[in-house]
Amino acid sequence: MKIALAQVNPTLGDFEGNRRLVLEATLQAQGRGAALAVFPELCLCGYPPKDLLERPAFVEAAHDSLRALAAALVGFETAVLVGFPERLASEAGHGLSNSAALIEGGRVAHVARKSLLPTYDVFDEWRYFDPATEVATVPFRGRRLGISICEDIWNDADFWPHRRYRSDPIEALVRGGAEILINISASPYTIEKRHLRPRMLAATARRWQRPLLFVNQVGGQDDLVFDGASLAFDAAGEVLAHGAEHAADLVLVDLAAGAGDRRPFDPSDERSALAALALGTRDYARRCGFSRALLGLSGGIDSALVAGIAARALGPVNVLGVAMPSRYSSPGSLRDAEALAKNLGIEFTVVSIEPMFAAYLDALAPALDAFAPATAPEVAAAAADLTAQNLQARVRGAILMALSNRQGRLLLSTGNKSEIATGYCTLYGDMAGGLAVISDVPKTLVYRLAHAFNAEAPLIPEATLTKAPSAELRPDQTDQDVLPPYDLLDAILEAHVARGLDLRALVAQGFDAAVAGDVVRRVQQSEYKRRQMAPGLKITGKSFGPGRRYPIARF
């Protein structure tokens, strides 16, 4: 039997367009002799649909699209397995199932339903769906298929030291006679998962001694990036086929011959992350109605990396870099910004913030002095200094938003995860924008990505890579004036934010109590800022987005 894994890039709510993707891929699969073409989870409506599932018209449109797809497949030799939201006739529960329809001969021959509904991190499927009430195999051309949907395959007792669920749908399918295991997924990308997921799937195939086929969605949706990278394994857990990473693909698997298409797998996590960020930026801009973008170019490494990603995502001619020097900006930073723009081939302009900044200071001076709290001179001086720094950032934010409005460009903010975690950023200033491209990229990873970017072509100026990071908002400023060295900071943030260690646990891990305590305090006090920032692309296991649900106001 030949089976095609169709990793497509569906768009939320574009039922006609998604149906067209399915038909085009099925035609291609039929041309290559596939008996079955397999498509991702909720492919007909797009994933994740979130509260669109609470709209009856959306669910009805999904059912209409399924009926239209079945009618369009009349006469096809290749059958189709496709994900869709199924309306259930139920007096209790949500009345919806995350389902997969097997279409053969112009009709829906079988429906399989998802059993395990995740509620951790970015997932919230119990909010919308009811779990399957039974798990059964599906007969198909003399074989029995064990069809599962995404999370159903992430609960193998032999692989996971701690399981989230009591039941294992894959075990139930094997006990029910499944000869071929098929999993349709919309599994979001993280750097860690690109290594974990293949190991987990291979272990499942080995455990049950069944060939296992996994098809995954590709593309960006809001803060999530889906990497594709579909896989097929034989009964010994050996890879038969591997789909492209971060690109649409059709992967043919010949189970009888024990062979399949194998796209190259890049071992570099840095190059993979760059491709994921470019894909996420491209799809976010396109689906929000933007074809062009702009960003502030400071001459620093963060804005340089975002500019490079934007140029890859949208094309250099569609990206504008804006340098906005002040009295504190070094001539070298302006030169580096201009050199970067020239190297990337993006548009470039300079707008000095000095006149606006000076006007703000003059206009605000009476009010700032009149209502300043009575404090020690050194405290008052620090508050005045911080006020002036934030004013500069907010002037820059206003300039960028003016250009965004006038030119119809998406504003990309350039703050990294380390800054955002500790609140080393200005609300309504450098946090302004429509997409926070590298908000899930710690500063140490920023450097690794920038070096990987330059390894292909040395486009980021060397001075940008080597100079001390600085916001240049006051004389002789560096980030390490107020933050620990970034390698230390990122280690603390990984332990605190990703692994959930409190201060006592951090100290037990060997971190200095004063340094760790300051970092934890900054993270906690900056929650209100992060809640107001632009959506950011998720590439690690724990990002500052929908998957991190911390209260803003707390002790």
Contact 129/97 with Cβ under 8 angstroms? yes
Q: How far is CA 508 from the centre of its chain?
A: 32
Contact 305/446 with Cβ under 8 angstroms? yes
Q: Would you call 231 helix, strand, or coil by DSSP?
A: strand
Contact 58/49 with Cβ under 8 angstroms? yes
Q: How many residues does the chain have?
A: 555
As a whole number of Å, the CA-based R_g of the chain is 26
Cis peptide before 48 (omega within 30 of 0): yes
> Which residues partner with 97 through β-bridges?
86
Residues contacting 305, CB < 8 A, separation 6+: 414, 438, 441, 446, 449, 450, 453, 460
> DSSP readout, 260-282?
E-B------HHHHHHHHHHHHHH
Q: Is 288 designated active site?
A: no
Nearest alpha carbon to residue 296 among 155, 445, 472, 172 = 472
Regarding beta strands 180-185 and 212-216, do their DSSP bridges make them parallel or antiparallel, or are they unpaired? Answer: parallel
In 10 A of CB 353, how many CB atoms? 21
Token representation of residue 342 = 């020239």
Q: How far apart are CA 453 and CA 449, in angstroms?
A: 6
- Would you give the DSSP letter of residue 484? -
Q: How far apart are CA 349 and CA 294, in angstroms?
A: 11
Residues contacting 128, CB < 8 A, separation 6+: 49, 53, 54, 94, 96
Question: Alpha helices, DSSP H only, in 408-441?
Answer: 417-422
Q: How far apart are CA 206 and CA 129, in angstroms?
A: 31
Q: How far apart are CA 110 and CA 112, in angstroms?
A: 7
Q: How far is CA 359 from the centre of its chain?
A: 40
Q: How far is CA 235 from the centre of its chain?
A: 32
Residues contacting 536, CB < 8 A, separation 6+: 223, 420, 435, 436, 437, 438, 439, 440, 543, 544, 545
Of 43, 45, 125, 150, the catalytic one is: 150
Of 43, 45, 114, 472, the catalytic one is: 114
Q: Is the dihedral of CA 37, 148, 11, 437 positive or negative?
A: negative
Q: Is 342 designated active site?
A: no
Of 41, 151, 245, 472, the catalytic one is: 41
Q: How far apart are the first and last CA of the chain?
A: 61
**Which residues belong to the active site?**
41, 114, 150
